[in-house]
Amino acid sequence: MEVHHPTAPHTHTIIFLHGRDSTAEQFASELFESQATDERTLPEALPGVKWVFPTAEVIPSKRFSGEMSQWLDMHTTEDPHELEAEQDMSASVKRIQDIVAAEAAIVGADKVILGGISQGCAVAIHALLSGNLRLSGFIGLPSWLPRPKDVSRELSAGVYDQAVKTPVTLYHSEDDEVIDIRFGTELNDTLVPSGMQVQWCVYPDGRHWINEPRGVDDIVAFMSRIM
């Protein structure tokens, strides 16, 4: 786990999950190189935030016949729903919920922001919903929603009545070559009918990452609203 402590009095904690075949250290380094329009990085723009970057376990990949760092063993990024019934993310979801609980014990659940990119976001949104806590916010960089029909049914039934009170911001670029934007749209369209406060940000470019500088600006603006 990679932890970056605030440079001002600690007010909030962001728990951010990396994507497949990455690490907490690599993701944090790349994220903190991204700059806003005013050339500030996220730690500079949000000095009171503690950043927690968990690292996924190294587990077998059936597709690649080897082992890699991943939150769940997905078959393909071209269609992340392919062979979805075989994808077990329960251990990763529980681990993230434990980290959320630990940080909430320090600053309060209403001061904890959860999020991630790609596979990390996919697992984080399930951790948010099944944990059914009202957090300060959720930040989703380009991703998708595993088992959308199940989630939609459970949202309609009011199973996640506290989690849906968490403000959400989602980011996706039209030129994403890893996870097609239609899967990000599906994530947004599944959450919105529940009454969840979702900000859906689409950019013409940025590929499978955050658009610079607009995406960084939008994260800072979102944080300013919920802090």
Q: State pLDDT tens for residues 176-188.
A: 999 999 999 999 9
CB count within 10 Å of CB 154 equals 15
Instruction: Give which of 7, 144, 8, 30 is closest to 16, Cα–Cα.
Output: 30
Domain regions of the chain by residue span: 2-226
> Per residue in 102-123, pLDDT tens?
999 999 999 999 999 999 999 9
Q: Which CATH architecture has domain 2-226?
A: 3-Layer(aba) Sandwich (3.40)
> Per residue in 67-89, pLDDT tens?
989 999 988 889 999 988 888 99
CB count within 10 Å of CB 48 equals 15
C-alpha torsion sign, points 144, 114, 66, 209 = positive
- What percentage of the chain has pLDDT greater than the value 70? 100
C-alpha angle 72-76-81 in degrees, rounded to nearest 5: 75
* Beta strand ranges found along 42-167 (DSSP E): 49-53, 58-61, 66-69, 112-116, 137-140
Cis bond before residue 60 (omega within 30° of 0): no
pLDDT category of residue 196 using cuts at 50, 70 and 90: very high
Q: How big is the chain, counted in residues?
A: 227
